[in-house]
A and B are shown apart, each in its own frame.
Chain A
Amino acid sequence: MLDFVQQLVSGVALGCVYGLIALGFVLVYKATEVVNFAQGDLMMLGGFFAFTFIGMMGLNYWVGFAGAVAAMALFGMVAERVVVRPILGYPQFSIIMATIGLGYFLRSIAGMIWGTDDLKIETPFSQGVLRVGSLVLAHDKLSVIAATVILCTLLWLFFNKTTLGTAMRASSENMLAAYYMGIPVKRVVSIVWAISAAVATCAGVLLAPITFIHSNVGLALGLKAFPAAVLGGFGSIPGAVVGGVLIGVIESMAGFYLAEGWKDVAPYIVLLAVLLLKPEGLFGLHVRKKV
């Protein structure tokens, strides 16, 4: 039972990271119908920024964290402007190739700048544990879960209670109508990329005590986050997070209870099963949106 709870917490924590990356996929997809395959690499880059600010420059953890988020938000806007906007309107695969290319580019640049060693950030959550009876839960895992809950709450409030957030939903539902309303759609898309890069950075920094930062970490996690987004019904924000948590928990349980090898396969088996029964994903919408 103790093992089970501990595996569950690890799984949920890892799943939260998948969920946050998946959230980035979904935000960008909903706004522009672009699948950004560099989403995981944005997370990786955010981790390196945080490492630079905290590990190399010696800034306070929270200051460095905020700095990395701000820098990556800006980077997300620039990436959209330079890589994606010029080819919007061309066939999907051109855009997909462009984001895959952006991912390659970011991994190579990161390797050149920060080297290929595994790096580590000292965080306030790196060491401590929470004991509940004989149950021992590491602070690093709990911090990921808590941060994900806070982040999702903030995003929910932003998208549902602010005019700008509502305008973002409006633009993603019907871009032409958004133009008719006088919503500056291009600026809205920029902000969506900024948010999705910022959320990815949060995932990267939160992950730092659990996994090392390495130029390939984003690729590996992106490949897990993508099925998470599909599982949740690509296009649903709560679905992305739930999908991420499910994949994290399944992976963690399979790794502990099943024979070697099942850990990486199990999430995909569940994904295939769900897609066969409910092709639109768990939270998918039946109504196709207009562009």
Chain B
Amino acid sequence: MDAAVTPDIILKLSNIESYYGPIMAIRGISLEVPRGRIVTLLGANGAGKTTVLKTISGILDPQKGAIEFMGRPIQRMEADRIVRLGLSHVPEGREVFPFLSVRENLMMGAYPRRDRDGVAEDIERVYGYFPRLKERINQPAGQLSGGEQQMLAIGRALMNRPTLLLLDEPSLGLSPILVKEIFTIIRRVNEEQGMSILLVEQNAKVALETAHYGYVLEIGRIVMNDSCDRLMHSQDIQEFYLGAKEAGARGERRWKKKKTWR
């Protein structure tokens, strides 16, 4: 909780604009992730959450704006260099290597590292977080269940021992029990290792319970930001994201969408 007194900013986005061809997907976003904090980015399907994360990790170059990671500008930097600086990304849909074994997948997460002892230590730590992965160490990742693949994707990113972890909808397609299990680990990683986390979610409830601070994204723009406690009690959030009924015409449209999220 000392992050409040140490104004140490791990990640800072200033007025970021990103395009897919001529289509502007991100319309001037600014946000911050303080050291040791979990920050969540909420928004409906198509709001631009994934695009924000891709822009941060260098898969997509922003047209305008600046991204600073630990005080260093990283916009336009090659993706593999950004990973080497200590920023790991757990992509939407897990994206494990299906024919590589669980162990090989984890080793790929440690690809930039040369310290064998540290890597061996971290692989044990990951097995500690996710004992199920240890049972399947030699199985091809493609044979794992959805929940196990999500655990593998997170474990793989942790193998880089990142300063900042980007998580893109880790709850997607998982049963409530698995969601709970995975978010417990996310909180533990944050508390035990002091890792800063930027968490993208459509599942606002679990995200607001887990994170410290939140931003709400709508069609490429930040429309709200506050501490998670306050967001949880905000009326808009209750109506549109936590499923309290009754809303205007605009809200109704979104409510329909929300039903298709899950």
Contacts and interface: CB of A to CB of B under 8 A. Distances in A.
Contacts of B82: 182
Contacts of B108: 166-167, 170, 178, 181, 183
Nearest to B83: A182
Interface in A136-174: 163, 166-167, 169-170, 173-174
Chain B interface size band reads: 20 to 34
Nearest to A179: B79
Interface string B57-73: 10100000000000000
B60 to A, nearest CB: 11
Contacts of B100: 166, 169-170, 173
Nearest to A180: B89
A27 B189 CA distance: 39
B171 interface: no
Contacts of B99: 169, 173, 285, 287
Nearest to A173: B97
A290 interface: yes
B234 to A, nearest CB: 33
Given A163-B111, A167-B111, A180 B98 contact: no
Contacts of A265: none
B43 interface: no
Interface residues of A, number: 21
B111 A180 contact: no
A215 B133 CA distance: 54
B95 A174 contact: yes
Contacts of A183: 80, 108, 111
B102 interface: no
B59 A176 contact: yes
Given A166-B100, A166-B104, A182 B84 contact: yes
A290 B95 contact: yes
A182 B97 contact: no
B142 A287 contact: yes
Most B CB contacts (10 A, CB to CB) among A167, A169, A177, A290 go to A177
A131 interface: no
A271 to B, nearest CB: 25
Contact of A177 (B84, B96, B104, B107): B96
Given A169-B99, A180-B83, A181-B160, 13 more contacts: A163-B111, A170-B97, A170-B100, A173-B98, A174-B95, A176-B59, A177-B91, A179-B59, A181-B108, A181-B156, A182-B83, A184-B80, A290-B98
20 contacts: A163-B107, A166-B104, A169-B100, A170-B97, A170-B108, A173-B99, A174-B95, A174-B96, A176-B95, A177-B91, A177-B95, A177-B97, A180-B88, A181-B160, A182-B111, A182-B112, A183-B111, A184-B78, A184-B80, A285-B99
Interface of A: 163, 166-167, 169-170, 173-174, 176-185, 285, 287, 289-290
